[in-house]
Amino acid sequence: MALTNLQLRIISGIIGGTGVVFCLTFNQWSYLIFVLALGVAGQIEFYKLIKDDGEDPLSKWGILIGFLVNILTFFVLANLLPTKVYTLIFVLIGITFITELYRKSSNPFENIAFTLIGIFYVAIPMALLHVAAFSQGKFSTQIISGIFFMLWASDSGAYFAGKTLGKHKLFERISPKKTWEGLLGGLALAIILAVILGIYFQDLPTWKWIAMAIIITTIGTYGDLVESMLKRSLQIKDSGTLIPGHGGILDRFDGILLAAPFLAFFLSIDF
pLDDT digits (tens, 9 = 90+) for 219-256: 999 998 998 888 888 888 766 666 555 567 888 888 89
> Residue 170: phi, psi to the nearest 5?
-85, -50
Q: Say how far residue 57 (Cα) sits from the centre of its chain.
A: 21
Residues of the chain with pLDDT below 50 are none
What's the rounded Cα separation, in Å, for the pair 62 and 107?
A: 17
Beta strands in 39-168 (DSSP E): none
For 192-221, give one letter per residue: b (16+ CB within 10 A) or e.
ebbeebbeebeebeeebbbbbbbbbbbbbb
- pLDDT value at residue 174: 85
Per-domain boundaries in the chain: 5-268
- pLDDT value at residue 145: 95
- pLDDT value at residue 165: 87
Q: Which residues contact 196 (CB under 8 A, 6 or more apart)?
A: none
- pLDDT value at residue 254: 87
- pLDDT value at residue 9: 65
Q: Which residues contact 150 (CB under 8 A, 6 or more apart)?
A: 190, 193, 194, 197, 209, 212, 213, 216, 217
- Report the predicted TM-score, pTM, of the whole model to 2 decimal places: 0.90
What's the rounded Cα separation, in Å, for the pair 188 and 119?
A: 33
